[in-house]
Amino acid sequence: MTVNPSPQPTRRGPPIGSVQERQAGLPEPLRALHRRLLVGFLAHAGPPEPAAVADMAAGLGLDPNQALGVLAATDLVHSDPASGTIIVAYPFSGRPTLHQVQLHGGIDVHAMCALDALGIPQMTRRDARISSTDPVSGQPVTIEAQHGAWQWEPAITVVLVAAAGGACGAVADCCCPHINFHADPQQAQTYLQAHPGMTGELLGQADAVERARRIFGGLLDPQQRQAMGDNDLTRGTRWQ
């Protein structure tokens, strides 16, 4: 199957629409490939090998290079040009980041940013422990998600959602480095003051969880239970 990417102009701020909305705008074979790639991160605790990605695409009747080109143009998945390894598949990062998510069952993955980390338990419907670091103070931040309840340490942790000024392409470049957990609101203000020209929004805990749910909560639907239920690597406590 031949697929044609829509042009994505360089602009100020993130791409239009959430990850779920951008996924929904794709033809079904590409949506299915995107879901399989996300499940692949769970199966491998990191990015699936390029050969496995090519097999996933071919199994859906897609040309692997063209399909990945469309997913990149839609700012859903990005690969390393040298190795072909996936380095971005929101909410997952193919490289270590400040934000590590341990899902119930022993699966450890890295998230692109704080909101992505909060989105992973909601996308997978799994209990999880998020371990991160305040980029200003270096203080550890931990969030436990159990049966839909969230416990934050420090208790006054906030999430700063910020974007670099100027022209912007991928969210991974202009937003993700600046969407972080901060141990308290003052640390978040300090971060903004250290980056002149940056705009940001400070989210309380409940608002951050809800924002992450809207961005990532349904990414694996409607095949989530089928795709994950057959895989012992994703077995664990599931939210009802």
pLDDT tens figures, 92-151: 999 999 999 999 988 899 999 999 999 999 999 999 999 999 999 999 999 999 998 999
Evaluate if residue 162 carries a pLDDT over 70: yes
Identical fold for domains 18-93+221-230 and 99-216, yes or no, is no
CA Rg, the chain, in Å?
17
Residues whose CB is less than 8 angstroms from the CB of residue 21 and which lie 6 or more positions away in sequence, other chains included: none
pLDDT band at 221 (very low <50, low <70, confident <90, very high): confident
- If one compares 73 and 229, the residue with the highest pLDDT of the two is 73
> Domain spanning 18-93+221-230 has what CATH number?
1.10.10
Q: Which fold has domain 99-216?
A: Beta-Lactamase (3.30.450)
Sorted by where each begins, the domain ranges of the chain are: 18-93+221-230, 99-216
pLDDT tens digits, residue range 67-95? Answer: 999 999 999 999 999 999 999 999 999 99
Tokens linked to 21: 């909305």
For residues 13-36, average pLDDT? 84
Tell whether omega for the bond before 47 is within 30 degrees of 0, i.e. cis: no
**What pTM was estimated for this model as a whole?**
0.86
Is residue 24 within a helix (H) or strand (E), and if so which, with residue range? helix 19-24
Identify the pLDDT of residue 45.
Answer: 85
